[in-house]
Structure 1
Amino acid sequence: MRVLVTGITGFAGPVVAAALLEAGHEVHGLVRGAGPWPRLGALPLAPDAFHRGDLADGRFPDLVRALAPGALVHLAGLSFAPAAERDPASAYRTNLGGTLAVLAAARAHAPRARLLVVTSSDVYGEVRAEDLPIVEETPLRPVSVYGASKAAADIAAAQWARAYGLDVVRARPFNHAGPGQDAAFVCSALARQLALIEAGRQEPVLRVGNVDPVRDFSDVRDIAAGYVALLERGRAGAAYNVCSGEGTSIAEVIAVLRGHARVPVRVQSDPALRRAVDVPRVVGSHARIAADTGWRPRIALADTLATVLDDWRRRLAS
């Protein structure tokens, strides 16, 4: 099946592209700028698989008409919650506006294509401990600008599916990590600091924000496999959590990374690293995606964190 991926050059994009190729699909990607994109370079993608453009420039419908994809995977969007807090209007333009652009293009030029719209676990907001794990029927009560912009996109996708008969599946991924992730995200940020310390470029002090929050972490490779499973076997109109189902505190992440480190380090709290909005505990259930597609997470968090640290060692060495 020909699959058009928005956000293919982002953190998850190359991993999703690799998973789609492995499953036998023909992959095309919407890209901004002229590259290069090193994480895509190793994939067996055709030279004409990259299509320059922007969801906001009005030309995306022409691309959908020309490609006639059997499916679209919408990954593009603003993904860093603090950035959304700094510029709420931009967050809504990107996350809601981009989703509407994909839905409109599909409705006009690929009405029978399957659409996988990727939002976020942040759509749920703060859920009481007694109501965990989070299931897909958990009310959407976002507490951050980022979560609200993703919830708006999620609701729009569901409404367009009902109103216009589009074949939409919504994915709500929880936290995920892996090589290539920006240092703005917690696992990558901590691993980068450790790699700097190992290289003698930072004093042996790991500076951290609030270490108490509990999150549901997955490997990006597991998340990508979940997206492919939903594309192929998810129920039209349904929403799916894509998560590990396990809660891990930031303190536990730090302990695992310190165990992988080649030098001893101290941990020091830095108030500047604390987020203005930080939900205390987020743990999801993957029962629905497991039942409908057979997907389950396979990669242990300790292994994921080891790959993230190794990736930063390589990045800093180069």
Structure 2
Amino acid sequence: MNLRRLKYFVKIVDLGSLTQASEILHIAQPALSQQLMILEGEFRHQLLIRTKRGVTPTEAGHTLYRHAQIILRQFEQARSDMDKTGDTLAGKVSVGLAPGTAASALSLPLLKTVRARHPGILLYINESFGTTLSELIINGCMDMAVLYGDHAPHGLSFQLLLKEELFLVTPRGMHVAAGPVELAALRDIDLMLPRPYNYLRQYIDDALSSARVQPRVVAEIESSATLSAAIHEGIGATILPDSAARIIAASGDGVQRRIVAPVIEAPLSLCVSDHLPLSEPAVAVHQILLELVADLTVGSHLQEAGLDAEKLS
């Protein structure tokens, strides 16, 4: 086995084309095909299926692709660790931050803190949905992510960071009684929610199901810009974590309302692989993330205390 063939294989799968891979790798296509045949011989499995549109991995190919990414990533980190001098940390670290969560507020502070403490670390920040981020970690393509969830699927480990309360955001002209909205009242409101596979949607659905409320979902939207525009146009209301609800309410000229009886909470967790150790640079970034979340939590509590004091005065 040699790493060069694994790199070739990963590039072919990424591009879905032997021709394109040949051009990017600067290798003649017959030679690249020969390397692929050697790899298939070593594993005794067909790895790719050739079609008119290109190539697609077989089931065995998918398995090798996942492991190859992990192997190549660990090799690059090993080389980076050996090249570092003194106590300076250097290398690539990838962090996922689920959009529409309190995690979104961490991106800039994380970037600034890592740059200040460890300028040799190249930080990659991916703001995508939780299910996508968790798959990237399982496949060894990402070091860690902050996302919704508290029950880790196989291959992952979750560390609970905080629980974020969910709020209703309504168009300003929607006829809803002032003040907090009881969960049962949501059956009479047109809702725009994420797709069912989204972690946030799952917590909303569970809460509504427990209250025996059949939601009136009029659209499934996962774009903040589209959601803000829809709120502004009065198409419907949505349910979001406090951090995202404030942004959508402000940009869409909406009203943020607390959901009560009962409140809905979504756990925000730090997700890592349960079997792949973090590199030294990744451990440092992991620690910075925990510090920033602690600061975020304290700041949130202080803000809540300030709001409560205003109500009493």
| TM-score where L is the length of structure 2 | 0.27
Please identify which structure carries the higher helix content: 2
Please identify which structure carries the higher strand content: 2
| TM-score where L is the length of structure 1 | 0.27
